[in-house]
Structure 1
Amino acid sequence: MRILLFGATGMVGSRIAAEALSRGHEVTAVSRSGKPVGDATPVTGDASDAAKVAELAAGHDAVASALAPPRDGSAPAAPFLATNAAVVDGVRTSGINRLVVVGGAGSLEVAPGQDLVDQPDFPDLYKAESLAQRDALGYYRTVNDINWTYISPAALIEPGERTGTYRVGGDRLLADAEGNSRITAEDYAIAFVDVLEKDTHPRARIGVAY
């Protein structure tokens, strides 16, 4: 499979690239810097430019987005939503019908009608980013003409061991018997590439965790 990956230099994106490459897929790693990511083909590009997205997507089988909201202290919601809309427009124009997106955990429910990001103990440091991700998910749920999947991680995702195990859920936050919700970036990448390969969960959000 030929995969175009946006946000390839980030913590999650670089692990998705590594996982896909380890399975024999061809990965074009797109970033603003054009920085090399393992054996992926590095490309400089701006995901907020729909025409550029369409140009880069040509010749690929699927597009993967590991983009994150801006972390420069500005309000991230509007620019992040605009970037996601540009990616969708570019994928639509390219004729490719597969887009898999790294999502956020904040929009997962801890109880019916109660999102994680709205809980009183949710860290202020991550709130604006989580709300921006929730807005993006709301946008994806209006997109009916391309085959997208939005994959939310556990509440805690960080570098760690590649165990090869994970669980898949829906809109409810997944936690273990002790109430911990976590996954390593390496195992999240396994779940992500599995979804790309198997073309599962069309036009849906799923959550992955231990």
Structure 2
Amino acid sequence: MPTLNIGIIGPAGFGGSYLTVELINRGHRVRGISRHPEKLGRHKSYTPYSIDLERSPIEEISKAFSGLDVLVNEYGPHTAGEDALQYQPFLELTRKIILAAKDSKVGYFIMVGGCGSLNLPGTQFRTCSESRDWWLAYRRAIAKSHAHVAYMEERLGSMGKELREYRDAWDAVRQGTATDATRQTIDAYEQKVLSNDKAKTFVTACRTSFMFFHGNTSFRWTYVSPSALYRPGKRTGSYETIFDEIPLKAVSNGADPSSLEDRLHGITAADLAIAIADEAENQGRIGRHWSAYADLSDDTPTPSYVTLS
């Protein structure tokens, strides 16, 4: 495999840090593009390029992308906490990044979006983020994972704290020690999820960002949406892929086939990094929307970020 010049937007963040380390370990040269790319550490194959993408004009962003074989957009506002999960700023920055990538003639653009843009199985126009059942199944699934709750607590402030209380309440139900107050905690959390979940704004923005790509033949792109339960965790070294739809586990015997409960797949940042690095090298999903999923049976909390030093 020839050495590639690969740009990573958000190299010191959650997914970006794992991907940068994966690519460098494969022998590629990485240009880390963000406000503080030096936070990732030092390596002879890593070049930090400091730029405030939100405030910079497209012409300056284009210079940051010059000479890249592949550009991966790992930008996500989660690091700034729940108040940063906004609709318009995310879409506006995505627009600027795409225009700059086209202007600088990046060879291949890999957009890392969200699972909210994936369709429910068998539907053409209904994404999972439009399903009340999906939102409940999603919140219940991440609450069952100690590793996922710990990750959310670290990154999203009060949203993580509320998730921990919700998890503790469900643990009490499963252990047979639930009280009226416990059940009220569960009901209140789930009503909030269905009516005013703070994550919905960002999830919807990610879903809408896919429209910048869908049917667009003016540049070479691929759009990867992590499966629903995306979190830090063990690097298993393998993964499965699916196009356009949210990956779901098979229906258990006797279960309601329309239910999404206990059927959501996930993937760790380390395993998604493998999938994205493979795509950067092979470029076999040009113009396609896809997801990757892997084994999440290990629930041990692991760092949300990795470093080069």
Q: Give me the TM-score of the superposition, normalised by structure 1.
A: 0.92
SS in 2 for 1:196: helix
Do the aligned residues in 1 keep the contact of 2:11 with 2:37 (CA within 8 Å)? no
| In structure 1, C-alpha distance between the alignment counterparts of 2:211 and 2:112, rounded to whole Å | 14
Supply the distance in 2 between the matched residues of 1:183 and 1:110 (Cα, whole angstroms). 18
In 1, the alpha carbon distance for the partners of 2:234 and 2:289 equals: 25
Aligned counterparts of 1:82 and 1:142: Cα–Cα separation in 2:
20
CA distance in 1: counterparts of 2:232 and 2:248, whole angstroms: 18
1:153-194 deviation per Cα after TM superposition (whole angstroms, max 9, x unaligned): 110111111111111111111123462311111000100111
Shift of 1:53: 2.2
Task: Please give the alpha-carbon distance, in whole angstroms, between the structure 2 residues aligned to 1:208 and 1:126.
Answer: 21
What are the superposed Cα offsets for residues 38-79 of structure 1, whole Å, 9 maximum, x if unpaired?
432222113343222210112221111101147552672221
Check conservation: 1:103, 1:152, Cα contact below 8 A.
yes
* C-alpha RMSD over aligned residues: 1.8
Greater Cα offset, 142-151 or 187-196: 142-151
- Whether 1:131 aligns to 2:131 is no
| Deviates most, 177-186 or 143-152 | 177-186
- Contact map agreement 1:160 1:185 (CA 8 A) in 2: yes
Match for 1:88: what amino acid?
I
Larger strand percent: 1
Q: Are the counterparts in 1 of residues 5 and 70 from structure 2 also a CA contact under 8 Å?
A: yes
Q: Which residue in the other structure is 2:275 paired with?
A: 191
User: Residue type matched to 2:71 in 1?
Assistant: V
Whose helix fraction is larger, Structure 1's or Structure 2's? 2
Give the number of equivalent residue pairs.
210
Structure 2 residue identity aligned to 1:66: E
Structure 1 SS opposite 2:200: helix
Alignment of 1:20-169 (within 5 A): 20-38=23-41, 39=43, 40-48=46-54, 49=56, 50-69=58-77, 71=81, 73=83, 76-111=86-121, 112=123, 113-121=125-133, 122=135, 123=193, 124-141=197-214, 143-169=216-242
Q: 1:167 to 1:52 in 2, by over 3 A?
A: same
Contact residue 46 and residue 52 of structure 1 kept, 8 A: no
Contact 2:235-2:268 within 8 A present in 1 as well: yes
- 1:2-24 per-position Cα deviation (integer Å, ceiling 9, x unaligned): 11110111111111101101101
One-letter code aligned to 1:110:
L
Unaligned runs of at least 5 residues, structure 2: 136-192, 251-261, 295-309
Look up the SS of the partner of 2:83 in the other structure. Answer: coil
Paired residues of 1:4 and 1:60 also in contact (CA < 8 A): yes
**Structure 1 residue runs of 4 or more that deviate by more than 3 Å after TM superposition:** 69-72
Q: CA–CA distance in 2 between the matches of 1:92 and 1:109?
A: 28
Gaps of 5+ in 1: none
Q: In the alignment, which residue of structure 2 is the partner of 1:179?
A: 263
Greater radius of gyration (CA): 2
Match of 1:201 among 285, 295, 304: 285
* 3-state SS in 1 of match to 2:67: coil
- Separation of aligned partners in 2, 1:37 and 1:77: 27
**What is the percent sequence identity of the aligned residues?**
28
Greater relative contact order structure (CA < 8 Å, 6+ sep)? 2
Pair 1:184–1:75, CA change in 2 (3 A): closer
Deviates more, 1:119-128 or 1:82-91: 119-128
Distance 1:119 1:180 in 2: 13
